[in-house]
Copies of this chain bind each other. A is one copy, B any other.
C-alpha cells in the first residue's frame, strides 16, 4: 500500500463529492466526527438567515412564516429514512438524556408488574444515570445490569425494558438489533435503543428489525452542530399507548388553547416538552441535509474500507508500540470508529492533536478515531497513521505539555 494507491482510492470514491459539503480546516485530519460532526457549508448560510432574517426581521412571526413550529416533526421525518423508520415515527427534541427519561418513564408504565430495567455495565454513562434516576422515581422499578454476553440470558419475566446502546461509545462494538430485540420481545420486554454512535454511519433498519423505541444524537455523525437537539423514535403501534410523564405545552394536543388539562398530542408529537432551541434545531436540519442523496449502504461500505485501511496501516507502521485495537474487525459487529487501548492514550491523543490529527481520548486508556464516510478520504487515514507512527517512533508524546488536562478530557 502506497500513498499513490491511497490517492487512487480517493479518486474512485463515489462519495468524494460529499466532502465539498463541509468546511474543514486546511491541513487538519478530523477523526472526531463521532463526537462533533464537521460544519456543513449549508449551515453557515442557513444560520445567518435564521439569525438575521428569521429572528431579526420576522421575529415572532417566524413561528408561522418560517414554520418554526413544524421543525421538530419536519426534521424528524428527514432523519427517518436514515434509520429505517416511517416519517411520523421520529421527532427531534431536547437531548438524548432527556429523551431517554421520557421514553423510559412512559414505557415502563405499560408493565407495572415487571420490576427490572435492564442495561449493561459500561453503557454510555448518561444512559445509566438517566436509568438510575427513573428507577428511583418509578415505584417498584430497579435498574440491573448484565454484561453484553449475558444480556439475553438475563431477560426474563421480571424484565420490563431493555436499554442498550447500539454501538458502544468506547469499543465500537455493535449489538445485533434484530436478534436482541427479538429475544427481549420473546421475554415480554420492550427494548430502547440508543443510536447515538450509529445514526449517520451504520446501516439502521428499525422497522425491519422490530425496534420499538430509540433515541439518537444530532451532533455526531448527523453533523447538527455542538449540542444539537436529539431525536426519538417510537414505533407506530406504540405511540398511542405511551403517556408521557415529562410533559410540556409543545406536546399538548392543542398548545395554543392554553388549557389547564393535559391532553397528549396524537402520535409522536406528544413527546415534545418545552419550546425547542431553534438556532440549534435549524442547524441540525442543515446537518441532516448533508445526507441528501447519499446511499447509506455506500456510506457504510466506505466506512468499512476506511476502517480496514486504518487498521492495516497501524499494524504495519505502529507495531511494537503497545497499541491494542479493541474494536471488532468484523464489520457486522462494530460501528464506524476504531479504538485503541494504550497506557499513555491521553498523551498520545494530545500529541496527535498538536500534529493536527484530531481523535479523542476516553478514560482511562482509550484513543478513539471516528471514521466519517461523508468527509474523510483515504489519504486522511494515511496522513493520520503516518503522524501517529511518527509520534510513537520519536516518543514525542512524552513531552510534558501533552500531559496537561483541560476541563474536558
Contact = CB atoms under 8 A, between A and B. Distances in A.
Interface of A: 23, 25, 28, 30, 32, 35-36, 38-39, 43-44, 47-48, 51-52, 54-57, 59-64, 67-70, 94-98, 101, 105, 121-126, 128-130, 132-134, 136-139, 145, 170, 219, 225-230, 244-252, 255-262, 273-281, 283, 353, 358, 360, 362-363, 406-409
B137 A409 contact: no
A318 to B, nearest CB: 23
A277 B250 CA distance: 18
Copies in the complex: 2
A125 B259 contact: yes
A342 B129 CA distance: 50
B260 A128 contact: yes
Nearest to A101: B246
Given A60-B358, A126-B248, 14 more contacts: A30-B59, A64-B407, A96-B274, A96-B275, A98-B274, A122-B260, A130-B248, A170-B258, A227-B276, A227-B278, A258-B362, A258-B363, A278-B280, A279-B279
Contacts of A249: 97, 124-126, 129
Contacts of A129: 247-249, 251-252, 262
A55 B32 contact: no
A360 B61 CA distance: 10
A257 to B, nearest CB: 6
Contacts of A229: 277
Given A36-B59, A101-B246, A407-B64, A47 B279 contact: yes
Contacts of A258: 124-125, 170, 362-363
Nearest to A36: B60
A277 B279 CA distance: 9
A255 B97 CA distance: 13
9 contacts: A32-B59, A32-B60, A47-B51, A51-B283, A68-B226, A94-B98, A95-B273, A226-B277, A256-B363
Given A38-B59, A56-B39, A63-B408, A128 B262 contact: yes
A318 B359 CA distance: 66
A372 to B, nearest CB: 12
Given A39-B51, A56-B23, A125-B249, A69 B260 contact: no
B137 A228 contact: no
B98 A246 contact: yes
A126 B32 CA distance: 38
Top 8 closest A-B pairs, CB basis?
A: A95-B274, A97-B248, A277-B280, A97-B274, A64-B406, A226-B278, A39-B56, A126-B249
B275 A227 contact: yes
A139 B136 CA distance: 11
A137 B248 contact: no
A178 to B, nearest CB: 27
